[in-house]
Amino acid sequence: MVFTDTNLKLYYAEVNKILKSITILSGLAFLFFLLLSVRMLIQTPFVTKEGFSKVEEREFHYALFLPVTNQSFFQRLREGALDAAAAKNCAVTFHSIYEDPDSLSMVQYSGFNGIGLYLYENDKKTMDLLKTIQDKGIPIVQIESEIIQGPATFLIGTNNFNVGKGIGKLALQTGFDSLNMVLVYSRKNPGVYSDATLIEMGIKNVLKEKLSMLRREATSLNPLDAERIVYDILKNDPSVDVLVLTDPNDTLVAVQAIIDLNLVGKVQIIGFGDQELIKTYIDKGLILGSIVRNPYRIGYSAVMALYELSTNSYTSSFVDTGITLLRRDRQ
């Protein structure tokens, strides 16, 4: 290639421009990635001594003892408890009484500032343990069911008499002159089962003479147990026209059984919970209505009560977290 003087200047000017661009671009990109690496290194949780997330120090440590922790009711309860703990700068841990029965006996050694208990069995061992815990000065807040009673006991949860009244109100919607009702309690919702008497009082209070029959049944922790019980009830006693379920899962299973037995409309179901499927069934007329407690508020109130006990040494002896009735005409 033959270059003239002008061409040469242009050629080398062009080459120089390209090289200058490469220098600037590679320099900037190098700096960019260098700064990015340094920034990543500074910001990464791996480099901090404390760990991968910022750890906030809390003032009190509470433990909530629940029957199970993986059901939606208790999950919502946990969320409420955690939000309250975060709001009050406390820490809360959850323990399953069923999965680890020793956990309650270790409360006295574990350094908790207070515990919340969701119990429904008042056996001697449990009562002794609770007394020991109380003697150690660890505040106890009972959730949903009041096993131990006394001046220093506190209850957070639904007033089950009101639950019974709610069931009665829903039962009135059937329009039946005479109601043959079966109450199917659930081990999955022990707080209701432990207050069965109170609930039934509430029902009777509303239905009065219309209530011809009120029977009590109970499902196990097996999620499909309700189906078996519903089949048994309806086959053995065709006069039953209202079934009351006290667990969301049992409610859904019972609806399926009614459909299978082709008794839709003839046997009315009063359920528990506010799952989307339950709402759908209410809209379709498969479920008469549903009792909805407020687990989030229960969990939240439990921790708030414990916090008040830690800071003020007193709290309300009973906090009613209320219920909601879900009906077809809820809009």
Partner 1 sequence: MKNSLSSRLLVYLVISMLIILFSMGVVLVISLKLQEVADRRFKDEQYFQQLQNQLTELQSPLNTYLTSYSSSALSKLLFISETLHESIPENRPITSRNSDLIKREIYFLIDAYLDRLSEVIEQKRGRKVQQYVQNYDDLLTMYSYINREINTVSLLGFRVQLEVYRNFLDFFRKLQLYGLLQIILATALSFSLLMRLVGTFAGPMAQLSALAGKLSAGEFSIPDIHLSSVNEVNQVAEAFNQMKHNIHRYIEELQEKKEFERQVMEEKVRNLRMEQVLKRMELYTMQAQMNPHFLFNTLNTGVQLAIVEDADKTAEFMEKLAALFRYNIKDKQFFVPLQHELMGLEIYFSILKIRFPKTLRLVLDIEEEIADQYDCPAMVLQPLVENSVLHAFKRKEGKGTVQVSVSYEEPVLVLSVRDDGQGIPPEIVRALLTPHTHDYSISSHVMGLENVIQRCYFFYPEQKDVISINSELGRGTEIVIRINTEVEPCIKL
**CB of 220: closest distance to partner 1 in angstroms?**
26
The pair of structure tokens assigned to 146 is 């009041």
Kindly state whether residue 42 participates in binding partner 1, applying the rule CB under 8 A: no
The residue among 49 and 124 lying less far from partner 1, judged by its C-beta, is: 49
Give how many residues touch partner 1 by CB under 8 A: 52
Kindly state whether residue 312 participates in binding partner 1, applying the rule CB under 8 A: no
Closest CA to 273 of 66, 69, 73: 73
The values of phi and psi at residue 272, to 5°, are -135, 130
Tell me which of 70, 72, 98, 106 binds partner 1, using CB under 8 A. Answer: 106
Tell me which of 1, 109, 235, 313 binds partner 1, using CB under 8 A. Answer: 109
Q: How many residues does the chain have?
A: 331
Q: For the sheet containing 242-245, what is the strand order?
A: 211-219, 179-186, 242-245, 268-272, 289-293, 323-327
What stretch of H or E contains 266? none
Kindly state whether residue 137 participates in binding partner 1, applying the rule CB under 8 A: no
Kindly state whether residue 41 participates in binding partner 1, applying the rule CB under 8 A: yes
**Of 55-63, 214-222, 259-267, 314-322, which part binds partner 1 (CB under 8 A)?**
55-63
Kindly state whether residue 136 participates in binding partner 1, applying the rule CB under 8 A: no
What are the CA-CA distances from residue 152 to residues 1, 245, 311, 315, 317 (Å)? 102, 33, 15, 10, 8
Give the DSSP per-residue string, 277-302: HHHHHHHHTSSSEEEEE-HHHHHHHH
Answer for the pair 63, 95: CB distance below 8 angstroms, yes or no. Answer: yes
Of residues 65-94, which lie at the interface with partner 1 (CB under 8 A)?
A: 86, 90-91, 93
Kindly state whether residue 98 participates in binding partner 1, applying the rule CB under 8 A: no
**Chain residues that interact with partner 1, rule: CB under 8 A:** 3-5, 8-9, 12, 15-16, 19-20, 22-23, 26-27, 29-30, 33-34, 36-38, 40-41, 44-47, 49, 51-53, 55-61, 86, 90-91, 93, 100, 102-103, 105-106, 108-112
